[in-house]
Amino acid sequence: MTIKKTNHLSELNDAQKEAVGSVNGPLLVLAGAGTGKTRVLTSRLSYILQNNIARPSEICTVTFTNKAANEMRMRVEKMIGNSIAGWWLGTFHSLAARILRANAELVNLKNTFTIIDTDDQIRLIKQLLSLENIDEKRWPARSLLSIIQRWKDMGLNPIDVKDAFHSGTDFANNQAIKLYKLYQNRLITLNAADFGDLLLHVITIFQRNSDIKSLYQNKFKYILVDEFQDTNASQYYWLKSLAEKHKNLCAVGDDDQSIYSWRGADVSNILNFEKDFQNTKTIRLEENYRSTGNILAAASGLISKNQSRLGKTLWTEGDIGNLINIRTVYDGKEEAESISDEIEAYQRNNNSINNVAILVRAGFQTRTFEERFLKIGLPYQVVGGLRFYERLEIRDAIAYLRLINSSDDQLAFERIINKPKRGLGDKTIRHIEQYSRSSKLNLEMAARKLSETDELSSKASSTIRLFSKNLDKWRIDLAGKKLGELVEIVLEESGYIEMLKKDRSIEAPGRLDNLKELVNAINEFESLQNFLEHIQLVMEGANNQDIETAKIMTLHAAKGLEFPLVFLPGWEEGLFPNQRSIDENGESGLEEERRLAYVGITRAKSDLWIFNANSRLTHGQWIDCIPSRFLDELPEKNISRFSSYSNNYNFKSSIASEWLMANNKKVINHYEDNKYDINDSNFKLMERIFHQKFGYGKIIDIDGDKVTIDFEKAGEKKLMLTFIEKI
């Protein structure tokens, strides 16, 4: 293998060079966002390879996501000008799975073991509960699963769990440990491992087989870890075991970016590192290369409000840049419109929308943006998650609505007849399908017919009769109620909401929020038919990987990434900081929310917009929103506030406004009662106008600061008045 010997060290500052070059001995790089921690890791990898200090198979590099691993691999291969075989570069899970496969028999697995997902885990636990005569209604499977996961995150096998860990983990009158043991045995019988097992089994193997442990300790001469602040106890223990011999463990992290405590991450691993590894060298990087002065100062000002932090200084030699735009809007819809307007203005300045990210606190927030972007044809991608209408609970709810809308919708019937579980087994379903085929009745009708006979068990028949009665009622509700109300009734009466409320998984609260958001969505439509057609159109806009897209993702998913233009919507009390985090974890929950805000702000390279709405629709109701306390914690000198409701038009830093000023546009003004008026613009209905993107058209509606234009080429578009020109 030929390795290119570029001197990429010249592209690093002195502290970074030191971090790259200090390959021997434990090293902790503790530094704020954008200071080049990930770059240090990449360069260190190349440095070790280029100087023949170790082979790729002797270096274990841990990244937070598979995507990050791929990027790092590509960068290193570019630096050394060669593709490399035998890498050990990946997430904790993927690396641990590799070690486990090679040694599976030591924990009584075959090397063909399967890795099971959450659904399988739940199914398994349910079987166990039923075998043990534990009432699943009282003691939900999900609760036990989260207890087991917590123990696994702590690196505890059933025999390691001591009473001390019992607090808050009572399950079925002290049976959690016993059930954990049964669950583990069952997995082994099935030749399966869950995600937590991947690390836990390796830890166990190392504990019981010092020869195997030595083998890996000898093999991995160098260990590199990114995002170290978000490791949990089991991951840390795993790392420590691997690094014990050579002690060449390099961890980079930022305590201010620890945002996964809800998944067992423990920021105190940073403090333990220095205790566990004597003579640890700690390097601090202080120069930020990512963000403008204003962005950096705002982020530093905000995070300084946290009490429990190690504290650090950050500076940049880069431009002070534009002020951060804080914009208060009327509601979620206006928020989405303003953001899409800004993105379009950005594109008009010949910038790529690949540069743009919208980072939300909660998954349900993506919906308004998705709808808006689909409407105006702006390509987008939901990164690290599904698009709103593709999400499981939304598809279930829509299946209910489809069946209510049409008894012939067989796929919808199949999807929800036993969801939530109504005790209809596969046999019953097959029976209904058979009868439907032979009688040429649709599934619903076939089921109804059968339920009036003795063909099915009496329990199945009565379940179907009850379901049919509900369907009849919902079809009447459809005629008499608002669509949003109908959705609420259906989800409540079908037992779907109850199922989710009992669900103790991490995802469940988000799923409930998504369903509330669905109520908002559907209320915007005149008829159920219209709504269902809309969904079909939305779903057809399939993801095209090759085109440039604006990215929408959660703040959690944005860790480690950077974008020139970032929007942070929904900065309102309750949403961000998230009320649940505060309720459940008090001050430390609030501090984690603040760290999340810090992560969000520091993703931005050049321009940052933060939005808050005065009111939001929740459950079909308007709720007045209080601006997030984080908005008040940003240093005034780095921000520019702009509200749709006052004359405080501070256009200094807005991209749109620059464009606006340059084009000598009219500025909108505003009445006290929250309605807009157009100050000296004098646009009239049916007036012919010009728009930079869509060309010539006629005004067909004026609604406050928004106008609907019938464009000669582009058809009908709803636009902000400020972007149209008189001719």
Q: Which residues are catalytic?
A: 37-38, 226-227, 257, 603
How many residues sit close enough to Mg ion to count as binding (CB under 5 A)?
A: 3
- Confirm if 364 and 515 have CB atoms less than 8 A apart: no
**Based on CB atoms, which residue is closest to Mg ion, 63 or 451?**
63
Give which of ligand ATP, Mg ion, none residue 34 binds (C-beta under 5 to 8 Å, depending on kind).
ligand ATP
Structure tokens at 212: 């195997």
- From the list Mg ion, ligand ATP, none, pick the one residue 289 interacts with, judged by a Cβ distance below 5 to 8 Å according to partner type: ligand ATP
Backbone angles phi, psi at 47, to 5 degrees: -60, -45
C-alpha 603/C-alpha 600 separation (Å) is: 6
- Report CA-CA distances (Å) from 106 to 43, 109, 149, 206, 242: 37, 7, 22, 10, 18
Point out which span in 29-37, 300-308, 494-502, 647-655 binds Mg ion (CB under 5 A): 29-37
Tell me if 25 sits within 8 A of 247, measured CB to CB.
yes
Shortest CB 726 distance to Mg ion, Å: 49
Least distance (Å) from ligand ATP to the CB of residue 421?
Answer: 43
Could you say which DSSP state residue 609 is in? E
Q: Which is nearer to Mg ion, 37 or 309 (CB)?
A: 37
- ∠ CA(159), CA(163), CA(164), 5° rounding? 115
58 CB burial (10 A radius; 0-12, 13-18, 19+): middle
Q: What is the CA radius of gyration of the chain?
A: 29
Residue 456: both structure tokens together: 């099915």
**Residue number with CB closer to ligand ATP (254 or 607):** 254
Phi-psi category of 574—alpha, beta or left, where left has phi over 0 and alpha has psi -120 to 50?
left
Q: In the block, which residue shows the tokens 């940003």? A: 634
Q: Which of ligand ATP, Mg ion, none does residue 230 bind to, with CB < 5 to 8 Å depending on kind?
A: none
Q: For residues 456 and 428, what is the distance between their CA atoms, to the nearest angstrom?
A: 7
Matching residue, tokens 């087991």: 148
CA dist 363 and 387 (Å) reads: 9
- Measured from the CB of residue 9, what is the shortest distance to ligand ATP in angstroms? 10
The smaller minimum CB distance to Mg ion, of residues 90 and 560, is found at 560
- CA atoms within 13 A of residue 478's CA, in its CB half-sphere: 18
Q: Does 38 bind Mg ion (CB under 5 A)?
A: yes
In angstroms, give the least distance from the CB of 598 to ligand ATP.
Answer: 10
Q: Where along the sequence are the contacts to ligand ATP (CB under 6 A)?
A: 11-13, 16, 31, 33-39, 254, 257, 289-290, 560, 562, 602
Q: Are 146 and 224 in contact (CB under 8 A)?
A: no
Does 381 contact Mg ion by CB under 5 A? no
Residue number, 78 or 706, with CB nearest to Mg ion: 78
Residue pair 159/184 in contact (Cβ under 8 Å)? The answer is no
From the list ligand ATP, Mg ion, none, which binds 347 (C-beta under 5 to 8 Å, kind-based)? none
Beta carbon of residue 273, minimum distance to ligand ATP (angstroms, whole number): 17
DSSP element (H, E) containing 358: strand 356-360
User: Which residue in the shown chain puts its C-beta closest to ligand ATP?
Assistant: 36
Q: Of Mg ion, ligand ATP, none, which one sits near residue 13, judging by CB under 5 to 8 A according to partner kind?
A: ligand ATP
- As given in the structure block, the two tokens for residue 654 are 């807005």
In angstroms, the Cα distances linking 28 to 23, 277, 371 are 11, 10, 45
**Least distance in angstroms from the C-beta of 674 to ligand ATP:** 39
Q: Is 32 in the site for Mg ion (CB under 5 A)?
A: no
Element (H, E) at 581: helix 579-601
| Residue 590 C-beta: closest distance to ligand ATP, Å | 21
Judged by beta carbon, residue 23 or residue 41, the one nearer Mg ion is: 41
User: Residue 36 binds which one of ligand ATP, Mg ion, none, with CB within 5 to 8 A depending on kind?
Assistant: ligand ATP
Task: Specify the residue, 36 or 510, whose C-beta has the smaller distance to ligand ATP.
Answer: 36
Strand order in the sheet with 688-691: 715-720, 706-711, 695-703, 688-691, 724-726
Estimate the crossing angle of helix 37-50 against helix 66-80, to 10 degrees. 50
Query: What's the DSSP call for residue 544?
Result: -
From the list 560, 577, 589, 704, which residue makes contact with Mg ion (rule: CB under 5 A)?
Answer: 560
- Supply the minimum distance, in Å, between the C-beta of residue 560 and Mg ion: 4
Residue nearest to Mg ion (CB): 38
- Which partner from the list ligand ATP, Mg ion, none does 12 bind, CB cut-off 5 to 8 Å by kind? ligand ATP
User: For the purposes of burial, counting CB atoms within 10 Å of the CB of 19, is it exposed (0-12), middle (13-18) or buried (19 or more)?
Assistant: buried
Closer to Mg ion by Cβ: residue 71 or 524: 71
The entry of ligand ATP, Mg ion, none that residue 448 binds, CB within 5 to 8 Å by partner kind = none
Residue 591, contacted partner among Mg ion, ligand ATP, none, CB below 5-8 A by kind: none
Distance, CA of 393 to CA of 388 (rounded, Å): 10
Q: Which residue number, 265 or 497, has a Cβ lying nearer to ligand ATP?
A: 265
Which residues lie below 8 Å from residue 80, measured CB to CB, with a gap of 6+?
A: 3, 4, 6, 46, 49, 50
Residue closer to Mg ion, measured from CB, 229 or 325: 229
DSSP state of 278: T
> Which does residue 140 bind out of Mg ion, ligand ATP, none, counting CB within 5 to 8 angstroms by kind?
none
**Rounded least distance, CB 13 to Mg ion, Å:** 16
Least distance (Å) from ligand ATP to the CB of residue 39?
A: 4
Pick the piece of the chain touching Mg ion (CB under 5 A) from 398-406, 560-568, 673-681, 695-703.
560-568
Residue linked to tokens 């905000």: 302
Of 68 and 345, which has the nearer Cβ to ligand ATP? 68
Q: Which residues pair with 642 in a beta bridge?
A: 327
DSSP-assigned letter for residue 505:
S
DSSP 164: G
Please provide the size of the chain in residues: 727
The option from ligand ATP, Mg ion, none interacting with 11 (CB < 5 to 8 A, set by class) reads: ligand ATP
Minimal distance, residue 599 CB to ligand ATP, in Å: 7
The residue type found at 321 is: G
Give the number of C-alpha atoms closer than 13 A to the C-alpha of residue 499, restricted to the C-beta side. 16
Q: Which residues bind Mg ion (CB under 5 A)?
A: 37-38, 560
